[in-house]
Amino acid sequence: MHAVAISSTGLFTPPEIITNEELVVAFNEYATQQNAAHAAEIAAGTRQPVPMSSVEFIEKASGIKRRYVMEKSGVLDPARMRPRFKARPDTEISMMAEIAVAAANDALQRAGKTAADIDGVICASANMQRAYPAMAIEIQTAMGIKGFGFDMNVACSSATFGIQMAVNMVQTGAARAVLVVDPEITSSHLAWKDRDCHFIFGDVCTAILVERLADAPPGAFEVLGTKLFTSFSNAIRNNAGFMSTSEDRSPDERDQLFYQEGRKVFKEVCPLAAEHMASHLAEHQLVPANVKRFWLHQANLSMNQLISRKLLGRDATPEEAPVILDEFANTASAGSIIAFHRHHDDFKAGDVGVICSFGAGYSIGSVVVRRT
C-alpha cells in the first residue's frame, strides 16, 4: 500500500463578476414587471406577488457579496434571468471540459508535473453538462492523458468523494496519480427568478492532484484519511433529467432547477457535519484543537460559523475556518477546495488540516491532511 498525498490544486476563475448590487437591480426590475403583469390576480388573492430583494437581505442570509459567472448579460436581463450560452458543435470542446482543463493544467504546473505523470481523471461535479460521453474522458483526451476517466456526482460533496476515490486508487497501486476536477457552471441550474435563492451560486472550476507521497513535491499534504457519509433527504433537490421530456415536463417548472428548504438544511446538516469531522479526527487520535485549519464547504456563512462553534466550543477565527464565500458565492463541490487552494501556504511541516464538504443527499465528505 502506498502513502498518498495531495500534491497541488488548481483554480479556474470565470471572466465575469456579478455584484449583489447588480443582481438586486435586475431582480427587482423582474419582480416589478411580473407584479404589474399579474396585478389583478395579486389583488384578488389568487397569486402571490414576487417579493423584492436587497443587498442587505442577501448578505444577512448568506454572507455572499459577489460571484463569478461565465456569462452575466443573460442573468441580468429581467426578460431572461439565466445565462446566455451559445451551443457548441460536437467538434468543439465543451464548456465544462474547457474550464476543467484550465484548472487541471494549473494544478500540474504548480506540482511540476505533466500529463505523462497522470493515469486517470475523475470529473466530480454537482451538475454535468451532458449524460455521455463522460466529461472526464473529454477532459482526459484534451489534456493528452493516457489511462482512464469517469464522472461522478454527489452534489456539493462531489470533490471530497472524488478525492477518496483517487486516494483509494493511488493507495492500492491502481494508479500513480489521479486528477480530480470539479467544473461547476452552477449559474445554469440556479433559479435566478426565486428571491429566496437567486443570489446563492457562482461558477468556477478546481482541480486536485492526488499521487503517491513518494512522487510528491516537497511541501505536499499527506492524506491521513478520508471519510464519507450519506443519508437520503429531499431538503435540497433538482428534478431536471432525461426523463423530464417523457413526463411532458416544462423546463420552466420550479423543480427543474435547484430548490431547497433552507431552514431545514441548516438545522439538520450543521450537527451532522460537526459530528462527522469530530469522529473522523478521533479515528486518527486527533481532536479539533489539533487542527490548524478547517477548509469547509462554502454554502452559507452562518452554517460554517455554527459548525465551527460546535467543533471548537467557540467561534473560529478567520485563520481557522477561512471564508471565500463572500467573493465566489456557493460554488457547489468546489467551495472547500477553493478555500484550501487559497489558504494553505502558511502551513509548516506537521500541521494538520481538514477539508470538508456537505450538501444534497445529504452527503458529507472529509479529508484529513498533514503538511510534509
pLDDT string in tens for the chain (372-residue length):
999 999 999 999 999 999 999 999 999 999 999 999 999 999 999 999 999 999 999 999 999 999 999 999 999 999 999 999 999 999 999 999 999 999 999 999 999 999 999 999 999 999 999 999 999 999 999 999 999 999 999 999 999 999 999 999 999 999 999 999 999 999 999 999 999 999 999 999 999 999 999 999 999 999 999 999 999 999 999 999 999 999 999 988 999 999 999 999 999 999 999 999 999 999 999 999 999 999 999 999 999 999 999 999 999 999 999 999 999 999 999 999 999 999 999 999 999 999 999 999 999 999 999 999
How far is Cα 243 from Cα 239, in angstroms, rounded to an integer?
9
How far is Cα 228 from Cα 331, in angstroms, rounded to an integer?
20
Distances (CA, A) of 212 to 5, 174, 182, 209: 6, 11, 21, 10
How far is Cα 81 from Cα 101, in angstroms, rounded to an integer?
28
Distances (CA, A) of 43 to 40, 53, 83, 369: 5, 21, 32, 58
Closest CA to 47 of 57, 56, 55, 37: 37
Q: What is the DSSP track for 293-326?
A: EEEE--S-HHHHHHHHHHHHSSPPPTTTS---HH
Which residue has 445529504 as its cell numbers? 362
Neighbours of 123 (CB within 10 A): 29
What is the pLDDT at residue 251? 87
Active centre residues (catalytic): 156
E strands in the chain: 4-12, 16-19, 66-69, 120-124, 148-152, 177-184, 204-212, 221-230, 236-237, 259-260, 293-296, 352-359, 363-371
Task: Tell me phi and psi for residue 154, to 5 degrees.
Answer: -130, 40
Residues 6+ apart with CB under 8 A from 298: 304, 323, 324, 325, 328, 329, 330, 331, 335, 336, 338, 339
How far is Cα 250 from Cα 268, in angstroms, rounded to an integer?
31
Class of residue 9 by CB neighbours under 10 A (exposed 0-12, middle 13-18, buried 19+)? buried
pTM of the model: 0.97
What is the pLDDT at residue 285? 98
- Secondary structure class of 156 (helix, strand, coil): strand
What is the pLDDT at residue 37? 96
What is the pLDDT at residue 326? 97
313 φ/ψ sector (left φ>0, alpha ψ -120 to 50, else beta): left
How far is Cα 332 from Cα 111, in angstroms, rounded to an integer?
25
Residues 6+ apart with CB under 8 A from 280: 225, 227, 354, 366, 368
On whether the CB atoms of residues 289 and 306 are closer than 8 A, the answer is: no
Closest CA to 18 of 55, 50, 51: 55
CA Rg value for the chain: 21
